[in-house]
Amino acid sequence: MSYHSNLQPKFNIAYIKLATKTEGPFTRTCIWFQGCNIKCPGCVNVDLQSLEPRNIVTLEELLNIVKAAKEKYDIEGVTLSGGEPTLQKELHVFNQEIRKMGLGIIMFTGKNIKELDDELIESVDLIIDGPFIESKLDEKRILLGSTNKKLHFITDRYTKHKDYFDNEVSINEITVEDYIFINGD
Ligand code: SF4
């Protein structure tokens, strides 16, 4: 990867948790992107809907955060959440670099997978798609919100870990480190 600093992809981030066990199997870094235009009634992340810049970070800065989390917490992968991660242009470039580190990627999206570019789909291991539908609350699976949401295993990295989501009992948060906030420009 080689970008002049002005040409690097940039990402709009709300916050990042460096190491958590509650955003997918194993210990993961979770990134909540800022901005979502889907506006599901009953959304629990209303503060992440605004499309305004919140913390703008370059590709290199974001990769360095993940690298540091890998070294410090031996994370297995990264979870992309929000907000709507797919609004981030060139997210696939970030994902491809994450893969080079040997890390897995789980992405939540309020869109249907059919709306996504192949390039983005192929850069992720597991996609959980669909809007949150308040009248279809999912009480049998954790993290998914509503029963319409589907798991799409793009690679076989997480196929053996589907059970993680089939869990009626809320997993207690095991936070290794608190959220970090980034001061953007
Ligand atoms: S897709 Fe997610 S963040 Fe966006 S409005 Fe729906 S629940 Fe909220």
Per-residue model confidence as pLDDT tens digits over 14-30: 999 999 998 999 999 99
- The whole-model pTM stands at 0.91
Q: Would you call 100 helix, strand, or coil by DSSP?
A: helix
Residue nearest to atom 5 of ligand 1 (CA): 39
Other beta carbons within 10 angstroms of residue 110's beta carbon come to 22
Model confidence band, residue 93 (pLDDT cutoffs 50, 70, 90): very high
User: Over 8-62, what HEC string results?
Assistant: CCEEEEEEEEEEECCCCCCCEEEEEECCCCCCCCCCCCHHHCCCCCCCEEEHHHH
**119-135 burial by CB neighbour count: b if 16+ within 10 A, else e?**
ebbebbbbbbbbbbbee
**Domains parsed from the chain with CATH numbers:** 8-180 (3.20.20.70)
The ligand 1 atom nearest the CA atom of 110 = 1
- Measured in Å, residue 72 CA sits from the centre of ligand 1 at 31
104-108 and 77-81 beta bridge pairing: parallel
Other beta carbons within 10 angstroms of residue 156's beta carbon come to 8
Per-residue model confidence as pLDDT tens digits over 104-114: 999 999 999 99
Tell whether ligand 1 has an atom less than 6 A from the beta carbon of residue 83: yes
Per-residue model confidence as pLDDT tens digits over 145-180: 899 999 999 999 999 999 888 876 455 554 555 556
Tell whether ligand 1 has an atom less than 6 A from the beta carbon of residue 144: no
Instruction: Return the pLDDT at 185.
Output: 34
Residue nearest to atom 3 of ligand 1 (CA): 83
Instruction: Return the pLDDT at 5.
Output: 62
Per-residue model confidence as pLDDT tens digits over 44-89: 899 999 999 999 999 999 999 999 999 999 999 999 999 999 999 9
- Measured in Å, residue 181 CA sits from the centre of ligand 1 at 21
- Measured in Å, residue 84 CA sits from the centre of ligand 1 at 7
- What are the DSSP calls for 140-159, one per residue? SSSS--BTT-EEEESSSTTG
